[in-house]
Structure 1
Amino acid sequence: MRLYLYDHCPYCIRVLLGARLKALPVELIYLPYDDAATPLRLIGRKMLPIWQDDEGHMGESLDILHKIDRMQGARLFDGPESAAITGWITAWKPVIWDLVLPRVADPRFPEFRSAQARAAFTAAKEQRHGSFPALRAGTDRLLAELAEGLAALEPLLPDPARTGLDDILLFPVLRTLAVVEGLSLPPRVSAYCAEILHRSGIIWPGALPPLTPAEARS
């Protein structure tokens, strides 16, 4: 089994988290962001994640998740999602994206090792979300807003010892915030993320290995 993914992408991390929690052996293939040919060849769209197994290739993170949930052991992700969690994500995702997008094209992520990949990401996202310098100019306001949102999240947090669909939806979004300098997660949010990291073995972006000199020059 193979998973084609980007390490910065919360939809990809949904599937990786599900596979790890189900203890499925998966080969991870990180595609460069500017590689459109591979996903087009596999599923006809430039979209990740892509799951590959003996039955072929599949896109769409939640479809993949429900498939792998049936593969091994007890079902973990077939319960209902919490309206409180999905409501929080919907309400705060615009602020999170405005903070994350201008910062996430970091060459420590495997999909952004080349300048061409970083440029492709910037061009695609600025077209939809506005210029990255303009988004960065609003950092102080956005951080203040998100601090309120994270405080509101604390009483809503799922129990990480009882894995479910809420963790699949929430944790990858919180993980993206690791690229935002100057942001501190509240204690309960930080503890929640730490428990999911411990159980899954997924690496927090702040723990990515430093660049080699050759990578830094690319």
Structure 2
Amino acid sequence: MKLYIYEHCPFCVRARMIFGLKHIPVEQHVLLSDDFKTPEKMIGKKMAPILQKADGSYMPESLDIVEYIDNNYGQPILTGAKSPQIADLIKQLQQYDYKLEIPRYIKLGLAEFATQSAIDYFINSKVAKIGSIDECLAQSENLILAVSEILNQFDAVIVSQNACNGELSLDDICLFPVLRNLTCVKGLTFPPKIKAYLLSMAEDSGVDLFFDRAI
């Protein structure tokens, strides 16, 4: 099987996680940010992740990929209950994280931004939503404060460093990518339980963190 991704994409991280957590081999291919032809040839539109299954067919949509792999390769592992509180806190984080992360993604040395045209496309596609890169960076201090308050709330609800609700569930598939991408923000402090969860889930899933190159 092959998985086509962007390294920065939280939806792609969801798909990457299920392969790592279940120890299922998959070839990962990073698409350039401005590559339209490759995904359009596969599924008719530009998006990621895309799974090329063993039979050669293609499957988009992160949670569809997660469900397919979990239910068709070995015993399901995402058997825990979901928490409305986790879902609500994720929504709160998403009010702020985009403006913190977008200006930093292009400086992390990620494969999808290997060319200037890929960087330019990415920036131009995001400006309408977040404003200029410089404006976002200028807001970093206030955005970090807002995110820190939400992370402190998260720290109180994380049950285990191996599974946010105590048993692996779709909440982990949705939560870890959001927290993982925030590790690219230098100066953002993660409370102890959140940090332990990030480190443990990164090891278990095989998805890298950005602490060592945070900006």
Equivalent residue, structure 2, for 1:204 = 209
> 1:106, CA displacement in angstroms?
2.5
Equivalent residue, structure 2, for 1:16 = 16
Percent identity of paired positions between Structure 1 and Structure 2: 36
What pairs up with 1:110-125 in 2 under 5 angstroms? Answer: 110-125=111-126
Q: Whole-Å Cα distance in 1 between the matches of residues 152 and 195 of structure 2?
A: 12
Gaps of 5+ in 2: none
Tell whether 2:44 aligns with 1:39: no
* TM-score between the two structures when normalised by the length of structure 1: 0.90
- Aligned residue identity for 1:180: V
Equivalent residue, structure 2, for 1:187 = 192
Q: Whole-Å Cα distance in 1 between the matches of residues 143 and 212 of structure 2?
A: 24
Q: Whole-Å Cα distance in 2 between the matches of residues 27 and 100 of structure 1?
A: 26
8 Å CA contact 2:80–2:168 kept in 1: the answer is no
8 Å CA contact 1:95–1:146 kept in 2: the answer is yes
Equivalent residue, structure 2, for 1:127 = 128
> 1:80, CA displacement in angstroms?
4.2
Q: Whole-Å Cα distance in 2 between the matches of residues 114 and 9 of structure 1?
A: 18
Gaps of 5+ in 1: 209-218
What pairs up with 1:130-169 in 2 under 5 angstroms? Answer: 130-159=131-160, 160-161=162-163, 162-169=167-174
> 1:206, CA displacement in angstroms?
3.4
Q: Whole-Å Cα distance in 2 between the matches of residues 107 and 115 of structure 1?
A: 14
Q: Whole-Å Cα distance in 2 between the matches of residues 95 and 199 of structure 1?
A: 27
Equivalent residue, structure 2, for 1:211 = none
Q: Whole-Å Cα distance in 2 between the matches of residues 28 and 158 of structure 1?
A: 31
3-state SS of 1:34 partner: coil
8 Å CA contact 1:5–1:28 kept in 2: the answer is yes
3-state SS of 1:3 partner: strand
8 Å CA contact 1:92–1:149 kept in 2: the answer is yes
How many corresponding residue pairs?
Answer: 208
Q: Whole-Å Cα distance in 2 between the matches of residues 107 and 98 of structure 1?
A: 16
Quick one: structure 1 residues 158 and 10, their matched pair in 2 at CA, closer, same or farther if it must change by over 3 Å? farther
Q: Whole-Å Cα distance in 1 between the matches of residues 134 and 178 of structure 2?
A: 22
8 Å CA contact 1:158–1:166 kept in 2: the answer is no
Q: Whole-Å Cα distance in 1 between the matches of residues 129 and 188 of structure 2?
A: 24
Quick one: structure 1 residues 198 and 143, their matched pair in 2 at CA, closer, same or farther if it must change by over 3 Å? same
The list of structure 1 runs, each at least 4 consecutive aligned residues, that deviate by more than 6 angstroms after superposition, is none
Aligned CA RMSD, in angstroms, stands at 1.5
Equivalent residue, structure 2, for 1:98 = 99
Q: Whole-Å Cα distance in 1 between the matches of residues 88 and 36 of structure 2?
A: 33
> 1:139, CA displacement in angstroms?
0.9
3-state SS of 1:103 partner: helix
